[in-house]
Amino acid sequence: MRCIPAIDLRGGKCVRLYQGDFAKETIYGDPVELALSYCATGATALHIVDLDAARTGFATNRELIKTIIAKCPVDVEVGGGIRTSLDAESLLRQGAARVVIGTAGIENPGLANKLAYAHPGQIAIGLDHKRITDKGQIRREVALRGWVQGSGIEFADALAMFSEAPFGAVIVTDIDRDGTLRGPDLVGLRFALEHCENPVIASGGIAKPSDLEALSEVEAKGKKLLGAIVGKALLSGAMTLKEALAACAR
């Protein structure tokens, strides 16, 4: 299972949000320096998200992302505010190893599937979901636009929408856990493996090496997780990248 450090961009800086709340932001400094330090420590991939673009659709951090791609000799996957084929293909031409489609894919599944067939393995679907209590029942709803808007689409239905095209990954983020260091959603991730034919990457709540070891043991239908995205744990010092990489190697 691959360990993928996350760098979230807002206003040209590296930040982390608590449960996706833009009012609960912690700033961690220069994104390029952080990316280079992760690469020097042994990371083989980075997960970059333009939070400004995710919320507004305007790619205000695009030049910064281009710099990270150019300077870091690892696979860089990029998400946030990618709304059109031109957006996705521009990032691929700039050297992104994988482009993550979120809002645009949910609102226009045909666009996402078309991109996946045109660029096999280089397009990922981001399924970020929240728990909603409805008439005493808890359901998982996929969120849109930087997690500030609900889609009305159930997590299970979203998995089915993208089960056939050759996506490089389906990135599953439990918003209620994201940035909380509460541990990953093992049950939800096992469900994703059961209902998705494409590789699955875990995101949200990872705090310590034992969380990564637990994720590596999640299995369904003979499949395991392709990777785990780690953000807050590395930035806060709860876990070092060396510890994370060693846990995934084990």
Over 80: is that where the pLDDT of 176 sits? Answer: yes
Quick one: pLDDT at residue 147?
64
pTM for this one?
Answer: 0.93
Which residue type, as a one-letter code, is found at position 221?
K
Rounded distance between C-alpha atoms, residue 78 and residue 63, angstroms: 13
Query: By percentage, how much of the chain surpasses pLDDT 70?
Result: 98
Q: What are phi and psi of 61, to 5 degrees?
A: -105, 20
Q: How confident is the model at residue 144 (pLDDT cuts 50, 70, 90)?
A: confident
Q: What is the pLDDT of residues 33-75, one digit of tens each?
A: 999 999 999 999 999 999 999 888 788 899 999 999 999 999 9
Query: By percentage, how much of the chain surpasses pLDDT 90?
Result: 78
> Would you tell me how many other CB atoms lie within 10 Å of the CB of residue 127?
25
Quick one: pLDDT at residue 127?
94
Quick one: pLDDT at residue 217?
96
Average pLDDT, the chain: 93
Q: What is the pLDDT of residues 102-139, one digit of tens each?
A: 999 999 999 999 999 999 999 999 999 988 777 767 77
User: By the 8 A CB rule, do 166 and 196 touch?
Assistant: no
Map residue 210 onto helix, strand or coil: helix
Set out the domains of the chain in order of their start, with CATH numbers: 2-249 (3.20.20.70)
Quick one: pLDDT at residue 182?
94
Residues belonging to the active site: 8, 128
Beta bridge partners of 132: 139
H-helix or E-strand spanning residue 134 = strand 123-134
Rounded distance between C-alpha atoms, residue 164 and residue 232, angstroms: 32
Q: Is 245 left (phi over 0), alpha (psi -120 to 50) or beta?
A: alpha
